[in-house]
A and B are shown apart, each in its own frame.
Chain A
Amino acid sequence: MKELMLGNKALARGLYEAGCCYISAYPGTPSTEVTEEAARFPEIYCEWAPNEKVAMETAYGASLAGKRSACAMKHVGINVAADPLYTMSYTGINAGLVIVVADDPGMHSSQNEQDSRHHAIAAKVPMLEPADSQEAVEMAKEAYRLSEEYDTPVMVKLCTRVSHGQSVVETGARTVPVKEYVKDIPKYVMVPDNARPRHPIVEARMERLREYAETTPLNRVEMGDRKLGIITHSTSYQYVKEVMGKDCSVLKLGMTNPLPEKLIRDFAAQVDRLVVVEELEPIIENHCRAMGLTVDAGKDVFPLIDEFSQTLLAKVLKGEEKPYVTVDDPVPVRPPVMCAGCPHRGIFYTLSKNKVTVLGDIGCYTLAAGAPLHAIEMCLCMGASIGAVHGFNKALGEEGERKTVAILGDSTFMHSGMTGLADIAYNQSNSTVIILDNSTTGMTGHQQNPTTGFNLRGEPAGKIDLEALCRAMGFRRVVVVDPYDLKECDRVINEELAAPEPSVIIARRPCTLLKTVKAQPPVKVVNENCKGCKSCMKIGCPAISMREKKAVIDPTQCTGCGVCIQMCQFDAMEQEV
């Protein structure tokens, strides 16, 4: 049956058809739906792991046990999982193991723009790159075949436009190959004496994969006009075809590690000018140059930065630009903001008011860096807030300790905040850590995590007690506060910053968008009391605006959280109870 399918869903479909029995992942845009869609198949065990490293390790365990397995993550997740990745390349696998990674050129929802192909090259594992949903289905299946034939984990790389693009897919049936677990100490126990003989096996495997790359239909030549030959991959291929049609010849690489040298050389010999079109890093281009080929255009004309488009390619390849019109007025930007009723708002307002230096983390709360709160001064990677506050305070001593906090969400804390907290507990900086416990993984669209008490399918699961965990690590000061209560937030934050020992503040209130959270009646403005002082505007709530010097509340957005009522000194905000 023909179906319009999201790239991530198509990839999940491919994993299913290939007989995948086990998927573990940590959510991360644009990869999240791979696992969510796979979970619709009851035949596949699916879970959210605390982080990508654990996800990859559990998938490895399932592969050893003899079941085809997979793990999924966004590009920065591969950094977290790099440790198991680089060594499982040495041990190889038992049943097929597929690592799904989704890059985000253009940084629609990411903190950097790294190119995952570097990891595939460095870890010496094959990488396949689908350019649309149908290819995602097919490559997931081929990835399993390759994984078992060449005894290697296989990376399948998506990008935002493939992950979140829908295109037409034809589906097939599921077959489930299963293997026996076999004890094999020299293969699986990577102590130096065993690892040394494995390294040549890895190199020999790459040689064999290079031969495979020469003939696989994943890499294909589409001959058109021979004056121009373009080597390309992933969505860049789509832009090339859109702009050039048959006015050039194309070598489309579906396998980007290892690269097929003979195929590339033969293609180059058949065209007058050779051009490489690839998003982000010049990996194919540099390879061509290292082979001694003349690349007539590559990163000298196509940027290293941002995602591509047909607009860019038409301009560079043909010097063509389409006419368009704009309005003359400046169009104000519309950045994402913390939602009306977001429980994070009260804490960030309090921190901002007290001029606290806030070292932030990855999640919805990063939005507090924007106007009007400007309350986050650092955001690096998952869990970094806690390590950074420790270093910051060790470097500055009491001067830092009295006015600096780390802040991160419940899921990010479970992901990689705990080890940072262990550092504070062990090496004793007098640091204050705030965990925003909103009972969900918010930014990626409400996934469960180890603190919510439910698993990926929404069934009851183990629930980690954050207070007990922090106390067990040696924190005597663990305080829970309701972030909707501004006075209490103010008291607790000042008290814990002043305290002579490290503390953890847990700001607990479920995300207002959760279906289980019932909105309160919206707050109304009492016009005669409103002085237009804009105090309520300081919290940056998107439901509040000023019209004719009076505050106005949009009742469709307002959740009745009541934080603005606490901001008003003139009793101009009221709520039916």
Chain B
Amino acid sequence: METKSIIIAGVGGQGSLLASKLLGRLLLDQGYDVKVSEVHGMSQRGGSVVTYVRYGEKVYSPIVGLGEADLLLSFELLEAARWLPYLKVGGAVVTNTQQIDPMPVVTGQMTYPEDLAAKIADKGVKIDAFDCLSLAEEAGSPKAVNIVLLGRLSHYFDFPDEVWQKALEAVVPAKVLEINRKAFRLGQEA
């Protein structure tokens, strides 16, 4: 099979590393060769953060190039727009509709573009945008946004539910497993 690529985009501190860890683990368990690429350090601290997940028979490059991603999983709307050029034509965006103002917007130098989800759809891109934060809060923790998104993302794969549940158990600490199971289900059903 051809190598598949997923981009996970968010704002530093939103928990995108856990999402990539879960996906990497799950795909490895399914027998794929997998590469995950993260960036640590200065790029965090509330900055734009991106993680690449690639899988297939044999994966070479650890990163995703322009126009290559099959899926763009975004924790924040502006980040979905930022990483849109990395999406393959025909690929899909799964995004949280939460808006977090970056510093140029906070200081009034720039404005946060309006109706981004609609504007992305207008470009002919398949976009699945929903409010993950309120679902995460419903599940019991605003930090579970990442798992809500993964729940939604599970529709884009043919893996049975137990595969996802097993991966959840493997990467989520036991004491918050129930909250995360609920978050995953709420994302799945959204």
Contacts and interface: CB of A to CB of B under 8 A. Distances in A.
B41 A445 contact: yes
Interface stretch (A203-211, A263-271, A469-477, A542-550): A542-550
Contacts of A33: 40
Nearest to B115: A329
B73 interface: no
Contacts of A314: 65
Grouping DSSP codes into helix (H, G, I), strand (E, B) and loop, the A interface class, with mixed when no group exceeds half, is loop
Nearest to B43: A108
A29 to B, nearest CB: 3
A322 B67 CA distance: 5
A74 B172 CA distance: 31
A29 B42 contact: yes
Interface residues of B, number: 61
A452 to B, nearest CB: 20
Interface stretch (A118-126, A334-342, A417-425): A334-342
Residue of B38, B42, B68 ringed by the most chain A CB atoms within 10 A: B42
Residue of A108, A166, A326 ringed by the most chain B CB atoms within 10 A: A166
Interface string B32-49: 011111111111111110
Contacts of A321: 66-67
Interface residues of A, number: 61
A323 B89 contact: yes
A310 interface: yes
A444 B43 CA distance: 11
A393 interface: no
Contacts of A322: 65-68, 88-89
B142 A556 contact: yes
B28 A160 contact: no
A323 to B, nearest CB: 5
Interface string A160-183: 110011111000000000000000
A241 B112 CA distance: 40
A337 B123 contact: no
B43 A30 contact: no
A319 interface: no
Contact of A324 (B41, B42, B62, B85): B85
Interface string B84-99: 1111110000000000
A333 B103 CA distance: 8
Interface in B13-39: 24-25, 28, 33-39
Given A322-B66, A331-B82, A333-B102, A29 B61 contact: no
Interface in B161-179: none
The 8 residue pairs across chains A and B that have the minimum distance between CB atoms = A322-B67, A29-B41, A336-B47, A109-B41, A311-B65, A329-B113, A334-B102, A336-B45
